[in-house]
Structure 1
Amino acid sequence: MPPKKGGTVGGGKKKGHDTNQVSHDHDTQEERLQAVVLSDSYQTRFRPLTLERPRCLLSLCNMPLLEYTFEFLALAGVSEVIVVSCVHAAEIQEYIANSRWSSSSSPFTIETILSPESMSVGDAMRDLDGKGLITSDFLLVSGDIVCNVPFDKVLAEHRQRRAKDSNAIMTMVLREANPLHRTRSRAESAIFVLDEATNQCLHYQDVKSRKRMKNIKLEPEIFTKSTDLVIRNDFIDCHIDICSPDVPALFTENFDYNHIRKDFVHGILTSDLLGKTIFAHIVTDHYAARVRSLQTYDAVSKDVISRWTYPITPDSNLLADQTFRYQRGHIYKEEDVVLARSCKIESRSVIGARTIVDDGSVVSSSVIGRRCKIGKNVTITSAYIWDNVSIEDNVVVESAIIGDGAILKDGCHVMPGAIVSYNVVVGKGIVVSGDKRLTKTSGEEDTIDRTDVDVVGPDGDGFEYEEESELEEDDDYEEIVNSSGLVYSTASMNVSDSSLSNESEDERLPRKVRRRRFSTASSTTAISEDSDDESFLREAQSSVERAISENHDIDIAALELGTLRMAKNAQFHEVRAATIAALMDRITQLSVGGAARQAVETVLNRWAKLFKRQVFDLYDQVDLIQLVQRECARNPQGSSILVHALSNLYNQDILDEEAILKWWQAELSRKEDAEMIKVVEFVQKFIDWLTTADEESEEEDDSE
């Protein structure tokens, strides 16, 4: 990137430029942080939507994905941003030029680089190296990142390593998550072998979800580099990397490097000649994800709505003309929304400005864009309706994406998983099955009307998009189709709603995804036994009880639990179980005499924040409720304690309405374990309040 005026050596007077000034300028050069944003994903998973618009400008919760990426870079302290554009470059340039990031108040400068010949990350990096734009450590990200990780510590650790060893060329930011976390890509996974003490990555292996791995091959040399290794496959890899200026040059030297992980990282770690090292920074208590597939688009959207990404939420109104307001139940509405009195806007919904929803329509867990017209008796569930969409009467849309300007005519039904792209018209009464992707363009420049009346009806406009034959021949094509859709089949994962409640307590424990320690003490590879779960539960419960009795700071208590979990290789389920046991014991002590509500509030108002570092998704929330219920079953005042605990955890945004209702529906279907069932007798009133509070809130807003 061209230097700022007067900001580098040689920018002022050349004569008399003393060594102190040169040293100062050099330090400034080292301290600044550049960022490279790859606006193209070099994939086709979002087609046909990306035939007409770049992925980085697709709408997520009524804001382009690129805005989330820029917001993260601003929080990370980046001073210069280089946006590499391949497809739809002109549209990206125009958007950036008209955005707040190009104003004088922007925290960084932006330069857009056209790289029309780039077909991979490797091509883009080689192009950057050829232009000589990278002059310092830089942050490498895609244009589809949603992240609220404070970056000061990550960057400081990277620079400290670089100061000690110039061969430490990269730090990968990885987010720890359980195997079923919804933001983990089902199509792609990976195994990382790390040095436990330093988090140096010693081995990387790409894993395809449909291929069940029974073993992993490690080179013997790895065991000479570390005496204590951990094998991890519980990361969300959102491809946030801090790189040294050497990285682009290494891509240039190795023209077979195309992918950042399976080519570059794997190649560096297996090279005997380069001597370069790569490290990992593991995030456990903040949010980081990449919208790399339709499945993760759905997951990240839900996380933004549920405020896991705070402060990056719809009501932050990051765009200048946004006017979102937050309401109970994770409902966000902009100004000038017109809602008929008999329509229902249910929890986890986002409604854009100047949208109209008519009588009898129900919007649930969905995002509605701006200037949309929703007719009468329409049902929209877990769907994404973008701007200027017209939906006529009696239409049903389930778990689908409807692009800008589309029209759904009277009585049509869009099934879960379908995509209706820009300006497509679906005719009256037509059913769009979940495997259909409808479009008005194939990406080719032609003016032929290709409307398929069998697909969109005689009064429709559009046709079914078919993927290019070259991709279908790819070995991974079937996996990409099955694992990257908006609706992901969990048939092969042994997961169901019933599994959350109908199994015994022992069966309900998650299958172990253990980290294994390796030792070089013997000539054979030795794998330690799994840690004793009961021992961990006792120690962890004692740790929480000690924190309560000695009134420790929340951060210290959480750190002790985290350290113990890592030492014992325990899962977050066990951490939650131990925490709940300790807190419920304290509540029982304080509730002697019948003061259950006061006891719950006293304990949870102080200590429930521990769950912020133990609960990460819907499954974790349901598991937490079941653990509370199990403890309450042992208490004479269990029914009262349970309802007050649910209310308290809900008000503290630890439990979402969706998780509570999911647990409740499972409880209603149970017919065994009467002792567990009896503690829910008081909960019905809370559930009734939960499901009617949103409606009452709407009526109050209307009356105002």
Structure 2
Amino acid sequence: MGAQKKRAAAATAAARVSEDPDDLARQPLQAILLADSFTTKFRPITLERPKVLLPLVNVPMINYTLAWLEAAGVAEVFVFCCAHSKQVIDYLENSEWFSQPNFTVKTIESHNIISAGDALRLIYEQNVIHGDFVLISGDTVSNMLLTQALQEHKERKKKDNNAVMTMIIKKSKPSPITHQSRLGTDELFMAIDPNTKQLLYYEDKADHSKGTICLDKMLLAENPSISLHNDKQDCYIDICSPEVLSLFTDNFDYQHLRRHFVKGLLLDDIMGYKIFTHEIHSSYAARIDNYRSYDIVSKDIIQRWTYPYVPDVKFCGNRATKLERRGMYRASEIEQSRSAQVGSFTVIGCGTKIGSNSKISDSVIGEGCTIGSNVLIEGSYLWDNVIIEDGCELRHVIVCDGVIMKAGAVLKPGVVLSFKVVIGERFVVPAYSKVSLLQQPTVHDSDEELEYADNSSGTVEFSSIQGTADQSNGEMTSESSEAHKPKLGTGGVGYIWSICEGGQEEEWRHSVAPIPEDKLAELSEAMDDDQELVTQDRTALSTSGELISDSNASEGDDNEDSKDDSVYFEKEVEATFLRAVEENVKVDHVILEVNSLRLSYNMTSADCAGAVFYSMMKLAVKTPHSSASELQQNTANIITTWQKLLKSYLLEIDEEIEIILKFEEMCLESAKEFSPLFARILHILYDKDILQEDAILRWADEKEGADESDKVFVRQSEKFVQWLREASEEED
């Protein structure tokens, strides 16, 4: 489109709102909520139910988004519905959202829209947006305050009419191993002006050739300094001026909000529109883009990072459950056998029954579920009215409403069972399988298609077997050919979808299951090279050609965020360790979980060693004791039991020294009870072969030039250190 036509369209958009900034400030804040993600990542589930109505810790996703918009001061929300629009509209009309004071929810429906760009063009034509608005999708969870970001947006707009959008971002830890973030999304590269916070470059992709990206020379020439980041998370919350809608109308090639619209604006040098960023630090914001982010956000909700949107607080669309010990939530109306064990970080919904000797941990169980005896459920999500018969095993899976698992059936990690599937007796569903009553589409569509299958278009073809099987004996009626019998064991009903060619990696990258051990080992071998590449990318550039460390460009913020990440990581490791102690989890399984956390937070072996050691020592303090000698005995017992876990992260002398430094820190701050026992416990760590004499002697040598205040524990350990030196000399 020509520049003149673009300017005319922009003028038209500007005419729709008052030119007086004060009048603009008085406009009630509006929001556009996209109830369709326009992707297929949650298939086969979203062939039957829209993504925004899928339960997230037993609450439809859209309720978290609407609850936050209401709390953030939004007065009017337009919910755009396309995929399964009738389900979304019926749900909202029968919910509390249509009766909230000072908060209006309106729906806009269309059956011909295939992208976010099309949706925004339609909303523009309806002339319902009259000022600045929040653009968000219905799969976003946040508790941030909008006040500061909104004020920054308005102030910029007063000074520069081209400042049309503010993008909310948050510091993230992309894994250099998997080229993905903690939420399972592709690694994101951003170039931001460190002074103005203007976004200058945006690129997300899973595979960067040799860890490099290409920046236009003009970008470097026109900007005094640029900070290049690969550690930012796009929260997909945008504050937009009304001109944004007109830009979509003028550019029909804008389909995707990021790949097309954001990049288009960054490359358009005719109109000069600008996008700015607002980074949040202590607040929470995340979008559920795939099954892995579904798992991560669920855990964040259970661990209360999203407060007040947590299971024990009443907000629209949830039944508050009672918070019990260490993140375990149970509704009051459940039936649980005395011999059943419900572990930490687990939510049990109303009306659920749990049989004898069953074990449930790190899981969310919906309403009205029936769980038999001797059932093992770990790291899984069971929705409503699920029936699990005796002796079944479920690890890191998603099970939708109405599913039946017959006795002895097993779900391997990463399995997704769609609605009303039946798994036959003792049948083992392979890892990462997706099972549905609907056959897999015979024509593969792109990721840009709608969530649901549109039979009229002919782009997606499938058939349903619902009602064609006798669930009592598993035999198919004559309506289904022999070739299409579900292969799910005796009494099984459903189809196992095949993994598309080249999709194996996507399965484990985006799954609710931890990264497999073989993949972990394979990727860890390449960690050092990848880490070097990431370090090279995280630089700030100036037009003089000088490369400036990114940490220097915003040293205060980075230090604060790194500290937050370390604290967050340490808490998760401690929670994992305590659950392992309580439920007698095997050491090898704990190592796998800690390794998964290590990848999620991009931590080193030393970080893992420090976090594990901290967790062990905190447990020793919490274990009842009435004297220093009893505390010492507690510590010795815990070290003996869990020494294999700790040793797995002590690969070098440096990691061992990190343990000693961590112990010093604890003795001075968080666990002062250990102060008089420092030398004795140091000796225990040596006796158990956790610390080598070289590590202890190097630690003592490094303290030689320190202040006296830093030598407290070296002085306390003098006899032991001297004994080690003499023993070493005798060996020589």
- TM-score w.r.t. the length of structure 2 is 0.69
Q: Which amino acid aligns with 2:233?
A: I
Distance 1:351 1:619, change over 3 A: farther
Q: Could you tell me which of 401, 405, 410 is aligned with 2:402?
A: 405
Identify the residue that residue 176 of structure 1 maps to in structure 2.
171
Q: What is the rounded CA distance, in whole Å, between the counterparts of 1:270 and 1:129 in structure 2?
A: 23
Distance 1:617 1:328, change over 3 A: farther
Q: What is the rounded CA distance, in whole Å, between the counterparts of 2:255 and 2:644 in structure 1?
A: 48
Residue deviations 1:13-67 (CA, integer Å, cap 9, x gap): xxxxxxxxx9999726753211111111111111111111100000110000001
Correspondence 1:82 to 2:46: no
| Range moving further from structure 2, 120-129 or 379-388 | 120-129
Correspondence 1:124 to 2:127: no
Distance 1:643 1:624, change over 3 A: farther
Distance 1:399 1:232, change over 3 A: same
Identify the residue that residue 456 of structure 1 maps to in structure 2.
488
Distance 1:356 1:295, change over 3 A: same
Q: Which amino acid aligns with 1:463?
A: Y
Distance 1:668 1:529, change over 3 A: closer
Distance 1:365 1:491, change over 3 A: closer
Identify the residue that residue 528 of structure 1 maps to in structure 2.
548
Residue deviations 1:151-210 (CA, integer Å, cap 9, x gap): 111111111111111110111101111124996343423211110011101112232x24
Q: What is the rounded CA distance, in whole Å, between the counterparts of 1:327 and 1:437 in structure 2?
A: 34
SS of match in other structure, 2:105: strand
Please give the residue correspondences for 1:596-611 in structure 2 after superposition, counting only pairs within 5 Å.
none
Please give the residue correspondences for 1:184-199 in structure 2 after superposition, counting only pairs within 5 Å.
184-199=182-197
Distance 1:438 1:679, change over 3 A: farther
Q: Could you tell me which of 45, 48, 66 is aligned with 2:44?
A: 48
Residue deviations 1:362-402 (CA, integer Å, cap 9, x gap): 00100000111100000000000000000000000011111
Which runs of 5 or more residues in structure 2 are unaligned? 1-17, 440-452, 454-461, 470-475, 477-483, 571-597, 625-638, 661-680, 686-732
Determine if contact 1:238/1:290 at 8 Å carries over to the other structure.
yes
Identify the residue that residue 200 of structure 1 maps to in structure 2.
198
Q: What is the rounded CA distance, in whole Å, between the counterparts of 2:34 and 2:643 in structure 1?
A: 44
Please give the residue correspondences for 1:488-503 in structure 2 after superposition, counting only pairs within 5 Å.
489=515
Please give the residue correspondences for 1:222-237 in structure 2 after superposition, counting only pairs within 5 Å.
222-237=219-234
Report the Cα offset of residue 460 of structure 1.
Answer: 1.5
Identify the residue that residue 348 of structure 2 maps to in structure 1.
351
Residue deviations 1:74-98 (CA, integer Å, cap 9, x gap): 1211111001111110110011111
Distance 1:392 1:168, change over 3 A: same
Identify the residue that residue 371 of structure 2 maps to in structure 1.
374
Identify the residue that residue 265 of structure 2 maps to in structure 1.
268
Report the Cα offset of residue 481 of structure 1.
Answer: 4.0
Determine if contact 1:639/1:679 at 8 Å carries over to the other structure.
no
Determine if contact 1:343/1:358 at 8 Å carries over to the other structure.
yes
Aligned pairs, how many?
Answer: 561
Q: Could you tell me which of 515, 518, 535 is aligned with 2:541?
A: 518
| Range moving further from structure 2, 192-201 or 477-486 | 477-486
Residue deviations 1:90-117 (CA, integer Å, cap 9, x gap): 11001111111111x3441111111211
Correspondence 1:67 to 2:92: no
Q: Could you tell me which of 485, 500, 514 is aligned with 2:511?
A: 485
Distance 1:574 1:431, change over 3 A: closer
Identify the residue that residue 666 of structure 1 maps to in structure 2.
645
Q: Which amino acid aligns with 1:297?
A: Y
Distance 1:661 1:349, change over 3 A: farther
Q: Which amino acid aligns with 1:486?
A: V
Determine if contact 1:455/1:463 at 8 Å carries over to the other structure.
yes
Distance 1:639 1:54, change over 3 A: closer
Residue deviations 1:536-581 (CA, integer Å, cap 9, x gap): 9xxxxxxxxxxxxxxxxxxxxxxxxx964448x898269969xx9x
Q: Which amino acid aligns with 1:194?
A: I
Correspondence 1:108 to 2:103: yes
Q: Which amino acid aligns with 1:223?
A: L
Please give the residue correspondences for 1:13-24 in structure 2 after superposition, counting only pairs within 5 Å.
none
CA RMSD of aligned residues (A): 4.0
Q: What is the rounded CA distance, in whole Å, between the counterparts of 2:640 and 2:531 in structure 1?
A: 19
Report the Cα offset of residue 520 of structure 1.
Answer: 1.3
Correspondence 1:146 to 2:141: yes
Distance 1:143 1:430, change over 3 A: same
Please give the residue correspondences for 1:337-348 in structure 2 after superposition, counting only pairs within 5 Å.
337-348=334-345
Identify the residue that residue 583 of structure 2 maps to in structure 1.
none
Distance 1:572 1:219, change over 3 A: same
Q: What is the rounded CA distance, in whole Å, between the counterparts of 1:494 and 1:213 in structure 2?
A: 21
SS of match in other structure, 1:135: coil
SS of match in other structure, 1:258: coil
Q: Which amino acid aligns with 2:546?
A: A
SS of match in other structure, 2:211: coil
Q: Which amino acid aligns with 1:90?
A: K
Determine if contact 1:323/1:335 at 8 Å carries over to the other structure.
no
Q: What is the rounded CA distance, in whole Å, between the counterparts of 2:550 and 2:391 in structure 1?
A: 56
SS of match in other structure, 2:192: strand
Q: What is the rounded CA distance, in whole Å, between the counterparts of 1:78 and 1:133 in structure 2?
A: 15
Determine if contact 2:391/2:408 at 8 Å carries over to the other structure.
yes
Identify the residue that residue 689 of structure 2 maps to in structure 1.
none
